[in-house]
Structure 1
Amino acid sequence: MARRAVAVLAALMVAGCAGLTDSGAARSAPGTSGTGPITFATGKDTTAYLRPLLDRWNQTHPDEPVTLLELPEAADEQRAQMVANLQAHSDVYDVLGLDVVWTAEFADAGWIVPLDRNQFPLDKMLKGVADTAMYRDRLWAVPYTSNAGLLYYRSDLLKKEHLKPPRTWAELRNEATLLSSKYHIGGYAGQFLPYEGLTVNFAEAVQSAGGQILSPDARRVTMDLGTTQTALGFLVDGVEEGWIPQEALTYKEEESRLAFQDGHLAFARNWPHAYGPATHSSLAGKFAVTRLPGLNGPGSSTLGGLNLAISAYSKRQKTALDFIRYFTGPEIQRLVLTEGSFPPVWAELYDDPALIKRFPYLPVLKEAILSARPRPVTPNYNQVSLVISSAVSGALSSSKPVDETVADLKQQLGEVVQPRG
């Protein structure tokens, strides 16, 4: 009887862990079969769409309600709070909303648990999106939203001046200069404060000029000096010539969104979530979006997005897993778009005629996501980003020449990617 009891207990433990392991044994964790109330830690809900979606889960799961824990808006600050919590082995966080670039770091550190890829409809997601949740051929999170940078522009002003949306940097420069001078507004802004957003903007400039910063596995610095100088020079020239206003050097996503939405910019680079609020502002009917411009034609965005993972220290991992399955399913995916203006990961939604009628930018967004490039997959990504944003910020503030900045950046990145032993 004792042997039978042990066998039954073992079977129950295996059943409780179903879905939490991809291949081989999962990491030991405090609550692989635990159920009950859970928390969802993610960045600040700037569009106020998230709580109503969570209420849907809570209404049907009264014994397993989810509580939203809002972290700071900036990705760097979100990561810092999560890392401090996980390094302390705290069970305060159950489900983690991870920026796509954190997968490798969090998996490598043992802070999240591996998942069974067969438990999720990864084949229904946009091409390349599921790869952001993989590390060393295992699934560590589930894509919840995708993302790609878009160029927001004042369609009313372009129409008055008989201009077309810019497809190249030269066109953006000329049109931003003209509109800035004639209408007394800023020409163009992105996210130029020294943080992850600046790294993204710089990476987009480099790849839109035909270059690359690191190899996909982040083991080599593949940055061509000439191409990178052209990319950085485009941004630096914009600040020096004035069509990128000085205020833009203090912008994160929300600041640039508000500046454009309030009519202070002719062009702005931002994520799709800025579209919804603008349609409910005084700018409604006066703006549109297109792909980011590049050196000689349409550019390439950085692939962004949010993946949902389970903390290795959660005591209620069974409920956390069930919640992730539900929250990445088709019903919520549609609401992610319609209520939050965030890009869903389910490919079929981008071809839905009713959604395209309501969100005319969907075809452009789909093109932008499919042509976007992921950031390097490395546990050291945070250090890579800090080196880039610091160097680029120095050049934008005119404290260092472009050629010197690029040469030093290449050397510094080499030290991060291949540190001296």
Structure 2
Amino acid sequence: MLAVLLTASGCATTSEEGGGETDTGGTGPITFATGRDTTAYLQPLLDRWNQAHPAEKVTLLELPEAADEQRAQMVANLQAQSNRYDVLGLDVVWTAEFAENGWIIPLERGLFPLDRFLPPVVETAIYKDKLWAVPYTSNAGLLYYRTDLVKKPPRTWAELREQSREIRKKHDIEGYAGQFLAYEGLTVNFSEAVQSAGGQILSRDGTEVTFDPAKGEIALDFLLQGLREGWIPKASLNYKEEESRLAFQEGELAFARNWPHAYGPAKAKLGDKLGVTRLPGPNGPGSSTLGGANLAISAFSKHQQTAQEFIRYFTSLENERRVLTEGSFPPVWTELYDDPDLIKRFPYLPVLKESILAAKPRPVSANYNQLSLVIASSVSKALSIPTPESADDVAVSMKSELEEIIRTQ
């Protein structure tokens, strides 16, 4: 099927599975817009493509590291119907918004080995029963801990609290931190706490607010208790991913919630003192937020056929292995998590696989950005020191604001 596509430049294909007519015509140079590469693994992969496709070279356009800023630049470009971006590296939560606004094109499912990808990851690329992107990396939050300070990693919030307080008292090292600045990271951390408490923000199809303020209060109280008692440092209210990663690997924290990309630098710094486990919850292992990136094709690209072929290349098994070994990002191919050689090199893979399979996506909505802003702003108010708002009042108010957004979408 791909051969037919590649010899029919300028034609359109119709896919019942993909959901409608997809214009994959047009070959030539393309651009790949994605977040800044902090590991230097991307360019070698692009170079391999460029050597094999001299007439269809890809140029990397690095966007800011922060997801919020990446989205802002992409949206501005797409709203202007610019053809500057061909392939888009999308945070998994943007799929619905970009599809709903007609900024990306639907893809034919049969062209990609989706059955060999982790099932929850594939779901992030589907909106209204159509495939709008191809999973490229996955992600799930993990709990990093110091093995020289912790005999047995915590499985519950109570154990995390107890161990953090004890370590802080004995070793003068701060306890636990996540990403608590008022941005997307705070939405993620709060969503994980709500999920771990048995709640959720929206219904699966994103049409109804199913957020239970009582579950929200439990999640907020977990964080508030830590801040009030001091085992969550107040400095973490200004932490994003990098700040929390650095604080942990520099020995300032005993525990830190972060994504798998933090493993490599932490291992290099801490060696055998580094441990990784699943996030804790109220009564046992918690539920992570499902993260990662998908690759989509701009609706305004003039070279959509090349863009599609590039995505097939970039998400191949060989390159997905490199995504892990050279970039330290979680791949989407299931079999890579069971590879003995990879497990020797990346001991956290079994835990990460468990975390991804137990993870839940953030709210699926074309208005996700508004929902996230409400959640992050509301949680930030609750965590404000020294005069936080009531957790109960914040949770109730949050639900009302979320319902207003859903009603108007």
Q: Same fold (TM over 0.5)?
A: yes
Distance (Å, rounded) in 2 between the aligned partners of 1:326 and 1:379: 29
1:339 corresponds, among 305, 326, 332, to 326
Moved more, 54-63 or 97-106: 54-63
Equivalent AA in structure 1 for residue 78 of structure 2: L
Task: Deviation per CA, 1:102-152: give whole Å up to 9, x if none.
Answer: 101000101001110000000000122111101111111000011110000
Of 374, 379, 396, the residue aligned with 1:392 is: 379
Q: Aligned residue for 1:408? A: 397
Alignment of 1:215 with 2:203, yes or no, is: yes
Q: Map 1:37-116 to 2 at 5 A.
A: 37-116=29-108
Helix, strand or coil at the partner of 2:149: helix
Give 3-state SS (helix, strand or coil) of 1:92's partner. Answer: coil
Q: Which runs of 4+ in 1 moved over 4 A?
A: 11-21
Out of 285, 298, 303, the residue aligned to residue 298 of structure 1 is 285
| 2:231 alignment partner AA | W
Q: How far apart in 2 are the matches of 1:39 and 1:14? A: 19
Q: For residue 349 of structure 2, what is the amino acid of its counterpart?
A: L
For residue 201 of structure 1, give the secondary structure of its aligned residue in structure 2: helix
Counterpart secondary structure, 2:381: helix
Work out the CA distance in 1 between the residues paired with 2:232 and 2:40: 30
**Aligned partners of 1:12, 1:301: CA distance in 2, in Å?**
43
Q: Aligned with 2:135: secondary structure?
A: strand
Q: Residues 207-265 of structure 1, C-alpha deviation per residue, up to 9 Å, x if partnerless?
A: 11111222112222222222221111100111111111111111111111111111111
How high is the sequence identity, in percent, across the aligned residues? 68
Which of 152, 171, 174 is the matching residue for 2:159? 171
1:58-113 CA distances to partner (integer Å, 9 max, x unpaired)?
Answer: 22222222111111111111111100010011111110000111101000101001
TM-score (norm 1): 0.92
Q: Is 1:229 the counterpart of 2:252 in the alignment?
A: no
2:19 to 12, 20, 23: 23
Q: CA deviation at 1:184?
A: 2.0
Verify: 1:350 aligned to 2:346, yes or no: no
Map residues 196-211 of structure 1 onto 2, 5 A cutoff.
196-211=184-199
Which amino acid letter does the alignment assign opposite residue 53 of structure 1? L
Of 143, 148, 154, the match for 1:156? 148
Which residue in the other structure is 1:192 paired with? 180
8 Å CA contact retained: 1:20, 1:115 = no
Three-state SS of the structure 2 residue aligned to 1:301 is coil
Instruction: Report the alpha carbon displacement of residue 185 of structure 1 after superposing the two structures with TM.
Output: 2.2
Q: Using a 3 Å threshold, how does the CA distance of structure 1 residues 24 and 394 change in structure 2: closer, same or farther? A: same
The answer to whether the Cα contact below 8 Å between 1:193 and 1:249 also exists between their aligned partners in 2 is yes
Letter in 2 for 1:46: T
Distance 2:171 2:38 in 1: 29
Deviates more, 1:146-155 or 1:15-24: 15-24
2:248 counterpart letter in structure 1:
F
Conserved? CA contact 1:19–1:321, under 8 Å:
no
Task: Tell me, yes or no, if the aligned pair for 1:41 and 1:71 is still in contact at 8 Å.
Answer: yes
Q: Does the residue aligned with 1:280 lie in a helix, a strand or coil?
A: helix
Residue 303 of structure 1 deviates from its aligned partner by: 0.7
Distance 1:20 1:186, change over 3 A: farther
Distance 2:397 2:262 in 1: 35
Q: Hey, what's the Cα distance between the residues in 2 that align with 1:53 and 1:322? A: 14
Aligned twin of 2:4: none
- Bigger shift: 109-118 or 408-417? 408-417
Residues 205, 294 of structure 1: 8 Å contact kept? yes
Please tell me whether the aligned partners of residues 133 and 141 of structure 1 are also in contact (alpha carbons under 8 angstroms).
Answer: yes
Q: Which secondary structure does the structure 1 equivalent of 2:325 belong to?
A: helix
Q: How many residues align?
A: 401
Paired residue type of 2:309:
D
The answer to whether 1:367 aligns with 2:354 is: yes
Q: TM-score, normalising length from structure 2?
A: 0.94
Q: Are the counterparts in 2 of residues 38 and 320 from structure 1 also a CA contact under 8 Å?
A: yes
The amino acid across from 1:144 in the alignment is Y
1:145 paired to 2:137: yes
3-state SS of paired residue (1:157): coil
- Counterpart of 1:327 in structure 2 is 314
RMSD over aligned CA atoms reads 1.8
Distance 2:295 2:227 in 1: 37
Runs of 5+ unmatched residues, structure 2: 1-6
Looking at structure 2, the residues matched to 72 and 137 of structure 1 have their Cα atoms a distance apart, in angstroms, of 31
Aligned-partner Cα distance in 2 for 1:156–1:339: 28
